Amino acid sequence: MPAIDLATHPLTNWTGPLGLPDFAKLEDEAFGPVFEAALAAHEAEIAAIADDPDVPTVDNTLAALELSGKPLDRVSSIFWLRAGAHTNDTIRALERDIAPKMARHFSAISMNAKLFARIDELYRRRDELGLDAETKRVLEQSWKGFVRAGARLDEAGKARLAQINEELAGLGTKFGQNVLADESSWALLLDAGDDLAGLPDFLVTSMAGAAEERGSPGRYAVTLSRSIVEPFLTFSTRRDLREQAFRAWAARGENGGETDNRETVTRQLALRAEKARLLGYDSYAALKLDDTMAKTPAAVMELLTPVWEKARERAASDQAELERIAAAGGSNHPFAAWDWRHYQEKLRAEKFAFDEAELKPYLQLDRIIEACFDVAGRLFGLTFSERRDVPAWHPDVRVFEVRDASGAYRATFLADYFNRASKRSGAWMSALESGHRLRGETVKPVIYNIMNFAKPPKGEPALLSMDDARTLFHEFGHALHGMLTEARWPSASGTSVSRDFVELPSQLYEHWLTVPEVLEKHALHYRTGQPMPKPLLDKLLAAKTFGAGFSTVEFTASALVDMAYHARGEAPADPLAFEAETLAALNMPEAIVMRHRTPHFGHVFAGDGYSAGYYSYMWSEVLDADAFKAFEETGDVFNPELGERLKRHIYAAGGTRDPEELYTAFRGRMPSPEAMMEKRGLS
């Protein structure tokens, strides 16, 4: 095989429009050799920095380190995009091989004694170097990163930590692949007639498309995609079918055989506990929280515990109402988890005289995308132009050119909205290229969103639930965090902030979805083009906190179990028994299940991103509720002065300063949890 030329290879030299790869030239079989070449090239760059005989400077050490490994960054960004959004057998096999190699590679960098000595010397002299605030923070964060990655361990400790990191990387990949296998292989195929009792047209249409995709035209498939299974659990009057669907949904990763995640989780928790001890921490949670706003597990529990108690009380009173409706409808079954959404929707109709099916015709995907763009234009001066001539990794992907208020090119945004068997579940944002301005080079961001909405039949519009629409706004908020960055340093760019601050821009952006003037403009009926009637809009807004007990119990239970796993000095021998014991101690309502049960809790076990960090959504929610209140207090939710402050101190700032400093610069003070409790209707 000829040597790989990283300067010209399409995986590392991107020649497509808008700074994109030329996706038509990318071959799955090329990833392995290009990774090998890129890893070797990065190793050589690191050796040159570490062995530099000159006195360490910010430029020859810190900047050189930050800008090293560009070919590896590029092939990695495409590969992990494909692994999540459009995988296949070749990609899955490569993923199992590449994940531990990458972990081993970056462990070696973190434990390179000569490299750390240079960073350490800069860190010790940081107050003498005349550094600007962003550079000083990047240096401090880099030094802390080396220390937390084992730079100060002895050789035996470094070797063991490298082994742990490598094994954890492989286990995280295995976990995620197992969940995807369970999700993509299961479908409940139904026939017309009684099987579809109670289902609205939009859901029947989505299920028909899902069945056809699975080779069963003329039938209807309930899949484990949230955009199908949740409305099925909501509307189906067939309790037996709801039970089948719910049990399959709750059992992902726990079905025995090769895709069962129980042993994988057991091993992950044991390795994480060992890693924490090796690095001198009492628990893995203490290690992960060391560089967050919360700082300690105790601080996290101070937030979660009162919320849990209020949510449980609200859920108990709601359940009594749901049981009343069920009994009135002739049900004599014990109330179960597959009943909650169904009767909650009936209670919503009783209290507010509308249901999700009445709302959905007004929530066209294309219109909600326009609403996202409209809000970004009004707040931040951005415009979005679709480029239908630019191909991406799948025909469903849409490409947008982003310009700022002056008309200058700002970023490229890609969006992949529809569910398919080759895509893992959930929704997320990431970057093919992060924006920065180091050494005078201006690199424009290339940002993408992934969703899993049900794809409609050809020629029909995609209709969203309100939860889907919020998800779209949420992930677009993350995308704005990446696109608006003004950071000079790559490691401070966009979403490179502490885990419990990163959800602020996304959760805050959700608020603008339900601003009346946004809905009046963009919530148009897909057949008539008429705006949502004011009585329906009023009911929607009045019902904003409806079901808060259920949704908060679902979420907070997951956050509490995550923290319970990781705040221990030792891993539990049987994680699922521990999950059950933890929930029993919390008096978890029997008719509600964690939003993410352990065997499919991808945030926590399909990698390390949110381990001991799932609480961060609620931590950020305290911030986002308070931040939106600042706009409401001005009487103008598009207040231009406040919008400019929001852009400068939150969306554009990235990790250039401490998050508390950034929030205080925007708001003038730090918030208390009351605004969040009020937002959820729990105050």
Provide the annotated active-site residues. 475
CB 495 within 8 A of CB 653: no
Q: Which two tokens stand for residue 67?
A: 């800008």
> DSSP state, 524?
B
Q: Which of 608, 596, 371, 562 is nearest to 468 (CA)?
A: 371
CB 210 within 8 A of CB 223: yes
3-state secondary structure of 450: strand
| Alpha-carbon separation of residue 350 from 70, 344, 346 (angstroms) | 58, 10, 6
Which residue in the block uniquely carries the two structure tokens 């057949």?
Answer: 527
Half-sphere exposure in the Cβ direction for 225 (13 Å, CA):
27
Distance between CA atoms of residues 543 and 354, nearest Å: 10
User: Strand 398-403 and strand 409-418: pairing?
Assistant: antiparallel
3-state secondary structure of 532: coil
CB 474 within 8 A of CB 507: yes
How far is CA 401 from its chain centroid? 23
CA-CA-CA-CA dihedral for 249, 254, 258, 262, to nearest 10 = 140
Cα end-to-end span (Å), the chain: 66
Distance between CA atoms of residues 379 and 399, nearest Å: 22
| Alpha-carbon separation of residue 346 from 198, 361, 484, 547, 599 (angstroms) | 12, 19, 42, 12, 31
CB 666 within 8 A of CB 646: yes
| Exposed/middle/buried for residue 201 (C-beta within 10 Å: 0-12, 13-18, 19+) | exposed
| Alpha-carbon separation of residue 406 from 70, 229, 380, 436, 476 (angstroms) | 30, 44, 11, 19, 22
Distance between CA atoms of residues 314 and 352, nearest Å: 18
List, in order, residues 6 or more apart from 152 with CB less than 8 Å away.
none
Q: How many residues does the chain have?
A: 683
CB 254 within 8 A of CB 575: no
Distance between CA atoms of residues 140 and 608, nearest Å: 22
Distance between CA atoms of residues 134 and 312, nearest Å: 43
Distance between CA atoms of residues 260 and 255, nearest Å: 6
Distance between CA atoms of residues 463 and 454, nearest Å: 8
